[in-house]
Amino acid sequence: MASQKRVLLLCGDYVEDYEVMVPFQALLAYGLSVDAVCPGKKSGDICRTAIHDSNGHQTYSESRGYNFALNANFDEVDPTKYDGLVITGGRAPEYLAINESVINLVKKFQDLQKPIASICHGQLILAAAGSVKGRKCTAYPAVRPALIAAGAHWVEPDTMAFCTTDGNLITGATYEGHPEFIRLFIKALGAKISGSGKRILFLCGDYMKDYEVMVPFQSLQALECHVDAVCPGKLAGDICPTAVHDFEGDQTYSEKPGHNFTLTVDFEGLDVSSYDGLVIPGGRAPEYLALNESVIHLVKEFMESKKPVASICHGQQILSAAGVLKGKKCTAYPAVKLNVILGGGTWLEPEPIHKCFTDGNLVTGAAWPGHPEFVSQFMALLGVSVSF
């Protein structure tokens, strides 16, 4: 049996929110070990994240995101112990690119010819480390002058989902390209993806949880599944605003605005039978989606057909309203325990909060810290796997 692949994730304050959490949790879901580090910080410290979005202005907007918890010590990193490096984007790379310890770390990974995947503004660090000279690479367009000055062969991104490779180097323009970015990285590590091609539906709504839609959405896309997102009353190309729910010392979670999430298909006329599985994100959307008869009918159709269904956090409010929890063991965000019990489900305590459970065709999770288990258990029901 192959040993577990080990990846280093380079972080900093005001790293782009999706660009740190999506690869972190996706790689964990696939069975890799991931150490997230930041110079000057230790395991258990946090990096504040930034939510960058396109809102029709000449450049992206920024708002405060989550508090991302590091799980390893920067000063103890030994590049020879890792199989690859991921460099995140956002504003962090501006100051990380002038940190000698960071530059030396990246140079060591380059000297060892280990896969390096860098996204968005992360390529500023590659430029500072001299890792792009004579190499094809892309990035967020504003990074182009620095990359050209560093001797890179600039590849203009035709869309913000564009990625390119050159030897051990994988570069992407923005988080929109995460599916290809992550897939290229795990394949560079020797991954074999089995069971791809599954068709997955996400049931979305306004102010669903930001991470709880994007992390599983892009994690499944990266495994070459066809993933669609719908919302009642909305069309393909419409957006759902999302919510950032975090734990910041209050008796319950705080809320901040998240990214805008773009839907892929119309809700009306949807052929549910064409999908192999359903994902229900949490957040505030489920409390109103649970009142929608079309939503209830859709959920019942998936559950009655015994197709895999994965629901997280407050998503179980919809399952309860649909009457599909009777005889099922499940968990949820602790405040949703009442809905689960009233819906006839058997409550499973999420201790710790990242604990997820599978009962038959149903996967349930309590909150976004459980995404690695949540996505992994859903993959198992779908018959999708990653091996090395």
Residues acting as catalytic residues: 120-121, 313-314
Query: How many Cβ atoms from other residues are within 10 Å of residue 228's Cβ?
Result: 17
Cα(388)–Cα(386) distance, integer angstroms: 7
In Å, how far are 38, 79, 334 from 75, measured between CA atoms? 9, 11, 37
112: left (phi over 0), alpha (psi -120 to 50) or beta: alpha
Cα(43)–Cα(375) distance, integer angstroms: 24
Cα(243)–Cα(283) distance, integer angstroms: 7
Task: Identify whether 216 is preceded by a cis peptide bond (ω within 30 of 0).
Answer: no
Query: The tokens of 359 are what?
Result: 């009962």
Closest C-alpha to 217, from 228, 209, 206: 228
Cα(295)–Cα(277) distance, integer angstroms: 15
Gyration radius of the chain over CA positions: 21
Query: The tokens of 176 are what?
Result: 């929109």
DSSP H or E stretch at residue 49: strand 46-53
